[in-house]
Structure 1
Amino acid sequence: MVFSSLNFIFIFLPLFLFAYYVTPAAFRNSTLFAGSILFYAAGVIKQPYALFLLMVLTYLNYVFGICLYQIHNPRKKKLFLTKVIFFDFLWLFLFKYSRHLSLPLGISFYTFQLTAYLFDIYYGRILPERDFVTFGTYISMFPKLISGPITPYEMLRRQLHSARRFLPENLAEGMKLFIRGLGLKAILANQFGSLWANVGTIGYESISTPLAWLGIYAYSFQIYFDFYGYSLMAAGLGRMLGFKLPINFMHPYLSTSMTEFWRRWHITLGQWFQTYIYIPLGGNRTGTCKWIRNLLVVWILTGIWHGTEFHFILWGFSLFVIVLTEKLLLKKLTDRYALAGHLYMAVLIPLSWMLFGISDPGSIEVYTRKLFPFFSADDAIIYVNDFWKNLNDFRFIIPAGFLFSTRFPVRFLKKIRGSVPEIFVYLAIFWASVYCIYVGSNDPFLYFRF
């Protein structure tokens, strides 16, 4: 079950919200825990072991957290932490990097939350949760279970232990966030996915240079609106339930450098790597050579987190090279000359997503030749009929991609906030999204694959 499905929107969500709101405040964690398990079970109905794994890891890490806190000998405490972290990541690597096992839904995200919880206990940032239902609710909460945001326990601790009384304003704000995310996913992301699929159908060897560029821009918009849409929907669902989940995107396509881009894109993943990998390694306070090593480790692990295929490793390494170059040479210039920075990123963003989106090394080489035919004997730039056809077929969605990558839509919605036109805007987005889902243009979220 996905957020952008008719079953979720018109069956699961209304029934769950009714049950949640009529539940006495003291027992709402139990209702949320049960509802989240039901939601996950529906999503992994063909993989029952995935639900079993989630429940077992949740219970074991609940016990691990209490045991870790009770160990006072620093050496024994560190050894115990090492063992349980290895145990948690063992399951992630076993499923994620095996070619013969199907990936349990959301395992990358909830594993990172489990290990962050243990690290925070080890470093004395939090106390272990003593109530299993509360801990289980934190890990399995369905708005964030499948694709984040990766939320530290301390951020939700007080909210989990609060009464969370029903407030109409929370429901209204949550619905608006959910509808905005639904529109980005169902109306924009899926259309850009169709354009990118057209490029693959034609074949990379046969496309023109203009279509090659249009294709990687389409993929860049698809992955952005897909994941940003999910994150807004997750935040909206959280708000309906009385939680404030962290924002995962801050207009990343307006960045003037790749360094800035990755501070704005999938923010909670970046914060996880910074808090639990980069800083413990010494960050930028260990001398130039070790600092470069720390950057390399973070970016290679970022690639591996998405998968062990060659293109993910290449993607992570290329980001390391770009970020390092910026920090040593370019970032002061791109910060000072914003227009140059935006032009620089207008080329770099789609190129980086090309490495992410094309899995075969040979296909990456072919696609690169199509993008830059003047470096080879390729005459792809001449034959542009395929470009004009796709540009015409998607003539409305392409400018919408650029527009919705800016701050303008958010500012517009703030300007009409609380007015009658706002109601009509959200109703239009909602029913247009439902129509797109109904006619079959809906697809699972891209990040479900990771």
Structure 2
Amino acid sequence: MVFNSYGFVLFFVVLLVLHNLPLPWRVKKINLLLASYLFYAVWNPPFVLLLWLATAVDFYVARLIAREERPGPRKLLLTVSLAMNLGLIAFFKYGGFLLENFTALLASVGIAFQAAKPDLILPVGISFYTFVTLSYTLDVYRCQAPPEKSFLNFALFVTFFPHLVAGPIVRPADLIPQFQEPRRATTAQLTWGLFLLSLGLFMKVVLADGLLAGAADSVFGVPFPLPMLDAWAGVLAFSGQIFCDFAGYSTCAIGVALCLGFVLPDNFRYPYAAIGFSDFWRRWHITLSTWLRDYLYIPLGGNRRGPARAYLNLMITMLLGGLWHGASWTFVVWGALHGFFLCVERLVRGWAGMGDARPEPPERARAEPAVYRASVVPLSLAGKRMSGFGLALLTLFFVNVTWVFFRAPDFGGAARLLLAMFGAFPAGKPLLATVDIYKVGIITVLLVVSHWLMRDTSLVRVAARLPWWLISLVWTGMLALLILTQKSSSSFIYFQF
């Protein structure tokens, strides 16, 4: 089930009614759990079994870890959880990729090996909910969270439908405590939640699907060189599309949860106004970047073992972050480019004396490791000055270069597009219509300017300063455009991850 469907509207209305009836809190939680399974089962009912498996294994393994005091058995129990969660991802998401590369490796040494390509269906959202359950087991293992006593609370934490298939990637502390006591949205929460749901759908349906997807699909789908203007228009269209699509989903998820009285963490903070790549990853897919920071980068040693080790840890983290997005070498290269730019930025900051080169104590690392701090220019100094805006545009330029590998179907397509972007081919017949070029240009400018103006504030603060009639007018306009634009219920881009 997708948020941008009439089926979800009916589903959500019924659930809201049930959640606001005078029923016992346990009954309401059971309603939410069953609704979450139904929400997921619409795609492929048998894959609910995987959710049950991940939920049951991690719940009971975490309880055993908490009871066990001997290091050896605790590590063995943690290995069971890691093997189960990572094994599910490896089998369903990377099985074909691993087999393909194994076959190519054998062929490179003269061994002919042919194996039937596995006909596997990727369970929607598997990368998200396995990270959710893993964070719980790891937190219990590291004694950073107690094991949850209620299986119902834990199952609802894992499967709560707003975040289930595309995030935000919640931690135990984010959600489990909210299931302890009865929760129902206040009038203000319900109103704001519905507004966020409308805003998220507007970003997805009107902007991502209606105005940007066509140009992006056309440019990335052609097998021949393009004029420079078309190439840049296609890449900028995808840059806007993936933000509006993914941030739109996160906004919908936060809004839906708030309508039920629950609070989910932010996942985006105006990333196209980032000054440097470290600032970008403080603003883009925040719950994934902090997950990788806390459960991969810091355990590898972070920046506490010298500069060389910090660069290595950073590259490993970003390479695996790229591979998390998809079973393709293009995603690995995308992650490698981000890791490279982060390393270069860190090196420049060190040369310029803008960063703290001292090893970071572990207790500070979780809160704000140096690799994710403000970037080349301190945010307090950058403000809204043109120098800061210029650095933001430079960051966005390199981010768009990396998006080529994220979206291109193969390296050949990525190479053609990059060469076209930098004028390597003679000007030929334009692919995109003039109106498409204008649409992409206008939306890109509006997106960048709005992110820059909002980079140091939040939508809640801005809305609090606006008159009610203006918010109502904007809301009505979004709903009208939604009704006029909605044609089909296309899936969100990050469902494939």
- Does TM, normalized by the shorter one, top 0.5? yes
1:200-215 to 2 correspondence within 5 Å? 200-201=220-221, 203-215=222-234
Q: TM-score, normalised by structure 2?
A: 0.83
Residue 465 (structure 2) aligns with: 415
Q: How does 1:61-100 map onto structure 2 within 5 Å?
A: 61-99=58-96, 100=119
**1:334/1:340 contact within 8 Å kept:** no
Whether contact under 8 Å (2:193, 2:258) holds in the other structure is yes
Structure 1 residues 387, 165: CA separation in 2 closer, same or farther (over 3 Å shift)? closer
- 1:28-427 aligned at under 5 Å gives the runs 28-44=28-44, 48-99=45-96, 100-190=119-209, 191-201=211-221, 203-329=222-348, 332=354, 334-335=376-377, 337-373=387-423, 376=424, 378-380=425-427, 383-384=429-430, 386=432, 388-392=434-438, 397-407=443-453, 410=459, 413-417=463-467, 419-427=468-476
Q: CA deviation at 1:245?
A: 0.5
Q: CA deviation at 1:447?
A: 0.2
Where does structure 1 lack aligned partners over 5 or more consecutive residues? Answer: none
358 and 414 in structure 1: CA distance in 2 versus 1, 3 angstrom threshold: farther
Per the TM alignment, residue 274 of structure 1 is displaced from its structure 2 partner at its CA by: 0.8
Percent of pairs with identical residues:
30
Rounded to whole Å, the distance in 1 between the matches of 2:74 and 2:198 is 46
Distance, in Å, in 2 between the alignment partners of 1:207 and 1:387 is: 13
1:87 Cα deviation from its structure 2 partner: 1.7
Give the distance between the partners of 1:432 and 1:393, measured in 2 at CA. Answer: 16
The change in CA–CA distance for 1:39 and 1:384 in structure 2 (over 3 A counts) is closer
Taking a change above 3 Å as real, the CA distance of residues 414 and 349 of structure 1, as seen in their structure-2 partners, is farther
Where does residue 445 of structure 1 map in the other structure? 492
For structure 2, the residue ranges without an aligned partner over 5 or more in a row are: 97-118, 355-374
Per the alignment, in what secondary structure is the counterpart of residue 128 of structure 1?
coil
CA contact (8 A) 1:251 1:407 kept: no
Deviations 1:203-226 (A, max 9, x none): 252421011011100000000010
For the 8 Å contact 1:146–1:448, the answer to whether it is kept is yes
Matching residue's letter, 1:189: A
Distance in 1, matches of 2:15 and 2:284, equals: 31
Structure 1 residue 61: Cα displacement: 1.4
CA contact (8 A) 1:208 1:387 kept: no
Q: More helix by proportion, 1 or 2?
A: 1
Distance of 1:123 and 1:200 partners within structure 2 = 45
- Residues matched between the structures, number: 438
Bigger CA drift: 182-191 or 25-34? Answer: 25-34
Deviation at 1:283, TM superposition (A): 0.6
Name the stretch that deviates more: 407-416 or 106-115.
407-416
| Cα pair distance change 1:169/1:272, threshold 3 Å | same
CA-CA distance at 1:405 after TM superposition:
3.8
Contact 2:236 2:440 in 1 (8 A): no
Shift in alpha-carbon separation, 1:63–1:196, aligned structure 2, 3 A: same
The answer as to whether partners of 1:25 and 1:165 remain within 8 angstroms in 2 is no
TM-fit CA distance, 1:31: 1.4
Q: Give distance in 2, aligned partners of 1:430 and 1:73.
A: 58
8 Å CA contact 1:312, 1:355 repeated in 2: yes
In structure 1, distance between residues paired with 2:439 and 2:69: 66
Q: Is the 8 A contact 2:193 2:256 kept in 1?
A: yes
Could you say if the C-alpha distance between residues 319 and 397 of structure 1 is closer, same or farther in structure 2, counting changes exceeding 3 Å? Answer: closer
Going from structure 1 to structure 2, the CA distance change for 1:58 and 1:422 (only over 3 Å counts) comes to same
Q: For 2:465 and 2:420, how far apart are their aligned partners in 1?
A: 44
1:388 and 1:397 map into 2 onto residues whose CA distance is 14
One-letter code aligned to 1:82: T
Deviation at 1:394, TM superposition (A): 5.6
CA 1:297–1:157 in structure 2 vs 1: closer, same or farther (change >3 Å)? same
Return the offset for 1:369.
1.3
Q: Structure 1 38/358 Cα, relative in aligned 2: closer, same or farther at 3 Å?
A: same
- State how far apart, in whole Å, the 2-side matches of 1:75 and 1:363 are: 49
Deviates more, 1:84-93 or 1:342-351: 342-351
Asked if 2 retains the 8 angstrom alpha-carbon contact of 1:310 and 1:359, the reply is no
**Distance in 1 between residues matched to 2:313 and 2:22, nearest whole Å:** 48
